[in-house]
């Protein structure tokens, strides 16, 4: 990994101080109340965190992928739910910056960078999660606008956000299906879009996750990303490649937080006359936890650097997401075992890490899917032509 520039180091240290002083003291209590972190979001706006991956010419920070991952690690170390407010917003920014028309970039990116406009991505449906080509939401052209009909599930920022990326079918008869799919930017306000129930989740609380329903909801034709129908699937999948690294970094943050809590506790908790950190069983756990965390970090940085060179990183991003998220789940559970009954208590944050960790295993493309992506790329890389 290349050394950080002075500017990158300043950004990361600023985020770290924000997490230590503002986030960690309130995260567990707010998460238990399922309370939306309005004040913390305001502070993130002021810090410019909503424009991390927006090009400088549109008012963003235009950080490289490695620095971006480091910031998400720090925020997730404090509170995964808070990282969720930024996560899918960043995917939307990636897609607009990469595929939007110049007019779309000028119209949306400066406001997305400040957080004035913020939101996420509307992809998942009841029968289309891992298999996005099976979605049924349609966008029908009527003059200067499209009419959206259908429903979306698991939409992060749906209630408090105001601007979203939507994937829908503009040609439902297209074969293969992805050739008939287009991506749009839409804003709240017009009739025909309803934010219904908030999904009650095991963890990842405080950031809302909702269902959206569209009934002839109008979206201006000028909001068709790239201005041409039929390219939405490729545009979204490119954005999701970056999201896998984002989710991997979140997993790293959870794992690091759980490990730091466990190793601190192990040095303070005394049984049979000495700290439990002096027992070999606990030392073995700590050694494995730390090793897996460091391996996760290196996988993330390797994939991020490849992406920054403009190269495809499907294989590396899949490996990083798979390993880092599984590490988050394993380390959170091991931390709970080290804390014993205290790990199961809401008096300590480990129970929150344990509940949050499954999301990074499932979200951003399930780890079962990551294994398929990894295997497919390995078979291409090591193709037997004998």
139 φ, ψ (degrees, to nearest 5):
-130, 115
Q: What is the 3-state secondary structure (H, E, C) of 244-308?
A: HHHHHHHHHHHHHHHHHHHHHHHHHCEECCEEHHHCHHHHHHHHHHHHHHHHHHHHHHHHHHHHH
Closest-CA residue to 138 (of 98, 177, 108): 177
Q: Is 347 exposed, middle or buried (0-12, 13-18, 19+ CB in 10 A)?
A: exposed
Q: Which two tokens stand for residue 58?
A: 């549109």
Let me know if 250 is exposed, middle or buried by CB neighbors in 10 A (0-12, 13-18, 19+): buried
Give the position of tokens 């129908």.
229
Q: How far apart are CA 238 and CA 230, in angstroms?
A: 15
Q: Cα 326–329–333 angle (5° rounding)?
A: 140
Burial of 337 (0-12, 13-18, 19+ CB in 10 A): middle
- For residues 375 and 367, the answer to whether their CB atoms sit within 8 Å is no
Rounded distance between C-alpha atoms, residue 111 and residue 311, angstroms: 29
Q: Sign of the C-alpha dihedral, residues 54, 361, 358, 159?
A: positive
Is residue 243 annotated as a catalytic residue, yes or no?
yes
Catalytic residue among 243, 261, 316, 326: 243
Local structure of residue 22 (DSSP, 8 states): I
Residues tagged active-site = 243
């Amino acid at each position: 990994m290349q050394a950080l520039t002075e500017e990158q180091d300043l950004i990361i240290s600023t985020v770290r101080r924000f997490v230590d002083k503002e986030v960690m003291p309130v995260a567990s209590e707010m998460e238990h109340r399922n309370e939306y972190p309005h004040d913390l979001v305001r502070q993130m706006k002021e810090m410019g965190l909503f424009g991390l991956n927006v090009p400088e010419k549109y008012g963003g920070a235009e950080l490289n992928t490695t620095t971006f991952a480091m910031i998400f690690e720090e925020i997730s170390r404090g509170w995964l739910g808070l990282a969720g407010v930024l996560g899918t917003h960043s995917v939307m920014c990636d897609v607009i910056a990469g595929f939007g028309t110049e007019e779309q970039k000028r119209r949306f990116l400066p406001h997305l960078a400040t957080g004035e406009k913020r939101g996420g991505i509307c992809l998942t449906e009841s029968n289309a999660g891992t298999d996005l080509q099976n979605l049924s939401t349609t966008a029908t052209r009527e003059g200067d606008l499209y009419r959206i009909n259908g429903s979306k599930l698991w939409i992060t920022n749906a209630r408090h956000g105001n601007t979203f990326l939507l994937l829908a079918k503009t040609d439902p008869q297209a074969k293969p299906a992805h050739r008939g799919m287009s991506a749009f930017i839409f804003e709240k306000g017009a009739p025909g879009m309803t934010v219904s129930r908030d999904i009650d989740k095991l963890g990842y609380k405080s950031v809302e996750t909702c269902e959206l329903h569209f009934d002839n909801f109008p979206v201006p034709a000028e909001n068709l990303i790239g201005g041409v129908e039929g390219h939405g699937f490729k545009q979204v999948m490119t954005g999701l490649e970056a999201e896998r690294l984002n989710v991997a970094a979140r997993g790293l943050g959870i794992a690091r937080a759980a490990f730091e809590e466990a190793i601190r506790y192990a040095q303070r908790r005394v049984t049979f006359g000495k700290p439990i950190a002096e027992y070999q069983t606990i030392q073995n756990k700590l050694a494995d936890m730390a090793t897996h965390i460091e391996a996760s970090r290196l996988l993330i940085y390797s994939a991020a650097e490849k992406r920054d060179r403009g190269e495809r990183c499907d294989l590396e991003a899949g490996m990083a997401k798979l390993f880092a998220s599984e590490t988050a789940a394993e380390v959170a559970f091991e931390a709970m075992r080290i804390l014993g009954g205290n790990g199961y208590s809401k008096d300590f944050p480990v129970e929150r890490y344990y509940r949050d960790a499954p999301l990074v295993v499932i979200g951003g493309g399930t780890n079962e899917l990551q294994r398929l992506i990894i295997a497919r790329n390995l078979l291409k890389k090591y193709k037997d032509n004998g």
